[in-house]
């Protein structure tokens, strides 16, 4: 039975993992007859956002691994413990955590860096020629990991697509239900809540992405 790693970035769309995207990913993996294991880096979040008001709580700090455990029902491992030989592929849900915690794309755009533990984690799958699925905003990490010409999508947002191309990637516009596949690098991406207006719309592309990752594994 195939086993997929799922990399989380906290808990909550504005400062961590987009919860719907994460749950839909876990559900799609299970429905396809595969197993999953959640991972997250043991690092401090960029900041904490009150999801009711949208305001940043400057007096509070949270840990990405601890917060990710909320989504994983406690079954989450430190990203630094990865044994890539135990997995057939990787999926990375979106949410601002991908652009604030896993990388600093939210603040630096095309000059962004990926958190070293995270970069090593994703790169392990690339070096092993194992497929990786990037959801929502997480594809902004593709160019830094895979280099010039790597293909991905964040949907149709012009500014983000321009940044993707500036970093050396090759962006392809896609609609919410679409996936974009880089066959050479074994990368699959889908816009999800970059475009989705409902959980059902997000589900369509995420399920396609998971099935394609499993097919390529």
CATH number at residue 149: 3.40.50.880
pLDDT in tens, the chain (217 residues): 999 999 999 999 999 999 999 999 999 999 999 999 999 999 999 999 999 999 999 999 999 999 999 999 999 999 999 999 999 999 999 999 999 999 999 999 999 999 999 999 999 999 999 999 999 999 999 999 999 999 999 999 999 999 999 999 999 999 999 999 999 999 999 999 999 999 999 999 999 999 999 999 9
Supply the pLDDT for residue 186.
98
User: What number of other Cβ atoms are within 10 A of residue 165's Cβ?
Assistant: 13
Residue 91 is predicted with a pLDDT of 98
Domain that holds residue 142: 3-216
- Could you tell me which of 205, 197, 11 has the C-alpha nearest to residue 100? 11
User: What pLDDT is recorded for position 205?
Assistant: 98
Are 137 and 94 spatial neighbours (Cβ–Cβ below 8 Å)? Answer: yes
112 is catalytic: no
pLDDT at 192: 98
Rounded Cα distance between 24 and 17, Å, is 12
pLDDT value, residue 203? 98
CA–CA separation, 196 and 57 (whole Å): 27
The whole-number pLDDT of residue 9 equals 98
Question: How many domains is the chain built from?
Answer: 1
Asked if 25 and 93 touch (Cβ cutoff 8 Å), the reply is yes
pLDDT digit string, tens, across residues 27-36: 999 999 999 9
Q: How many CA atoms within 13 Å lie on the side-chain side of 7?
A: 35
- The catalytic position among 11, 38, 112, 136 is 136
């Amino acid at each position: 039975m195939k086993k997929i790693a799922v990399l989380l970035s906290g808990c909550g769309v504005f400062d961590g993992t987009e919860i719907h995207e994460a749950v839909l990913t876990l559900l799609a993996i299970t429905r396809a007859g595969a197993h999953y294991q959640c991972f997250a880096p043991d690092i401090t979040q960029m900041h904490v956002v009150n999801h009711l008001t949208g305001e940043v709580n400057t007096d509070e700090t949270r840990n990405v691994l601890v917060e990710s455990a909320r989504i994983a029902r406690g079954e989450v491992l430190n990203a630094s413990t990865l044994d890539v030989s135990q997995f057939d592929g990787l999926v990375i849900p979106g949410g601002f955590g991908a652009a604030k915690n896993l990388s600093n794309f939210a603040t630096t755009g095309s000059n962004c860096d990926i958190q070293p533990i995270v970069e090593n984690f994703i790169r392990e799958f690339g070096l092993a020629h194992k497929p990786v699925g990037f959801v929502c905003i997480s594809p902004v990490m593709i160019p830094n990991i895979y280099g010039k010409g790597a293909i991905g999508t964040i949907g149709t947002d012009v500014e983000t697509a321009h940044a993707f191309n500036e970093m050396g990637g090759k962006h392809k516009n896609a609609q919410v239900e679409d996936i974009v596949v880089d066959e050479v690098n074994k990368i699959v991406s889908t816009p999800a809540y970059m475009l989705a207006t409902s959980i059902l719309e997000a589900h369509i592309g995420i399920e396609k992405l998971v099935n394609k990752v499993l097919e390529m594994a």
